[in-house]
Copies of this chain bind each other. A is one copy, B any other.
Amino acid sequence: MRLLVINPNISESVTSLIDAEARRAASPGTVVTTRTASSGVAYIETRLESLLAAPAVAEIVAAEGGDADAVLVAAFGDPGMPGLKELVDVPVVGITEAALATASLLGVRFSIVAISERITAWYRDCVDRAGLTSRLASIRSLRDPLRGIGTVQEDFREDLVRLAHDVVEHDGADVVILAGAPLAGMAREVAHRLPVPVVDGISAGVAQVEALVRLAPGTARAGSCARPPAKDNAGLSPALAACLAAPHTTGADR
């Protein structure tokens, strides 16, 4: 299967981390293609930054998603979700929703460990939108400024492991989610040091979209994730305009 992975951050160093972890996580037959958003910010921390990144993600989904079997949006916080699901006929999944789905099977309550305090409000929105706030034990985050977005793991590994222990001991977490693409791949390195299962967004995302492709559940031609009804548009790229021009909606949502 062909998996299109999109880094909504403009940081190539993060794209490298994502790409490496996606390839480690992929099944033998999966071909991973990773793309980086052409516009936006180095590292999405806020709702505004997510909003500004979403159109660049949409552009890549529109241009290349149709040739893939599934699309993975690889920034925690899931910029553009769930709207991007309307864009193409293949599954489009964010790493947060994939991580939450995965964590939900490994325990009853989970916590999120994040790399900045400002980012936690946006993550909380994401868990709310998933309907899983009652299963969220806590969100804890680093408090120190980052030296560089590509080196968070090496700079803060011990702090992050300590936070993971804290959420288990003090907040009642059964599962820990290491959140944020800059932490891609760290879970497999520290899992043996943690007393509960640990989930990485990128590998959980790859596993979940592979599962969806294998299940072949069918395409949304009705409901809120079907293509939008055709209507005039302006100022959109040819790829986006083409997606919007060919809706599949049927009776059910007319």
Query: Provided the pairs A49-B228, A132-B131, A135-B131 are in contact, do residues A172 and B215 lie with their beta carbons within 8 angstroms?
Result: no
CA distance A85 to B93 in the complex (A): 27
Within 8 Å CB of A195, what residues of B?
A: 220-223, 226, 250-252
Q: Are B134 and A224 in contact (CB under 8 A)?
A: no
Once the chains bind, are A43 and B253 in contact (CB under 8 Å)? no
Bound-state CA distance A168–B254 (Å) is 12
Q: Which residues on B sit within 8 Å (CB–CB) of A101? A: 101-102, 104-105
Q: Which residue of B lies closest to A144 (CB)?
A: B254
Residues of A54-85 contacting chain B, CB below 8 A: 54-56, 58, 80, 82-85
Interface residues of A in 15-73 (CB under 8 A from B): 25, 27, 38-43, 45-52, 54-56, 58
Would A107 and B224 count as touching, CB distance under 8 A?
Answer: yes
Given that A188-B216, A217-B198 are contacting pairs, would A168 and B222 also be in contact in the complex, using a CB cutoff of 8 Å?
yes
Q: Give the contacting residue for A217; candidates B106, B133, B235, B244; CB below 8 A.
A: B106
Do the beta carbons of B234 and A172 come within 8 Å of each other? no
- Across the interface, name the chain B residue whose C-beta is closest to A120: B172
Give the distance in Å from the alpha carbon of A187 to the alpha carbon of B214 in the complex. Answer: 13
Question: Which residues, 87 to 135 on A, are CB-close (under 8 Å) to B?
Answer: 87, 91, 93, 97-98, 100-102, 104-109, 116-118, 120-122, 125, 128-135
Q: Are B211 and A207 in contact (CB under 8 A)?
A: yes
| Other-chain residue from B39, B83, B225 in contact with A107 (beta carbon distance below 8 A) | B225
Residues of chain B lying within 8 A (CB to CB) of residue A217: 102, 106, 175, 187, 191, 197-199
Q: A residues engaging B (CB < 8 A)?
A: 10-11, 25, 27, 38-43, 45-52, 54-56, 58, 80, 82-87, 91, 93, 97-98, 100-102, 104-109, 116-118, 120-122, 125, 128-135, 145, 165, 168-169, 172-175, 187-188, 191-192, 194-200, 203-204, 207-208, 210-212, 214-226, 228-229, 231-236, 240, 244, 249-254
A selection of 6 A-B contacts at a CB cut-off of 8 Å is A40-B235, A46-B86, A47-B82, A54-B54, A168-B222, A207-B212
